[in-house]
Amino acid sequence: MSAYSVRVLDNAKKDLGRIDKATSARIVKRIIWLATSFDEVRPLPLKHGLAGLFKLRVGDYRVIYRVDRDTRTLVILAAGHRREVYDV
């Protein structure tokens, strides 16, 4: 199958801007990997107040996203250190 498209919400763009450039670049690279490999990956679901969303691990950082399977789009909601990112 073809790759998913990626939509990064403004809050997530701000989050990425607050992270150091090297780590931010690693996160973006990992998001691109996820979009191209999504059909072969088992997404990591979140629970409780974040049910219906998924996380992508990048070292000590996490990307919170949702999937729109109809339009084959990954919507990036937030990115940040694992201690803080779940306060979305």
Tell me how far apart the alpha carbons of residues 78 and 52 are, in angstroms, rounded to a whole number.
14
What's the whole-model pTM score? 0.93
Give Cα separations from 77 to 9, 41, 44 (angstroms).
6, 19, 15
- Phi, psi dihedral angles at 22 (to 5 degrees): -65, -45
What is the CATH classification number for the domain harbouring 77? Answer: 3.30.2310.20
Total number of domains in the chain: 1
Q: Which H or E run includes 31?
A: helix 21-37
Sign of CA dihedral 58, 43, 47, 31: positive
What tens digit of pLDDT does each residue of 18-49 get?
999 999 999 999 999 999 999 999 999 999 99
pLDDT band at 86 (very low <50, low <70, confident <90, very high): confident
85 in Cβ contact with 27 (< 8 Å)? no
Q: Residue 49: give the domain boundaries.
A: 5-87
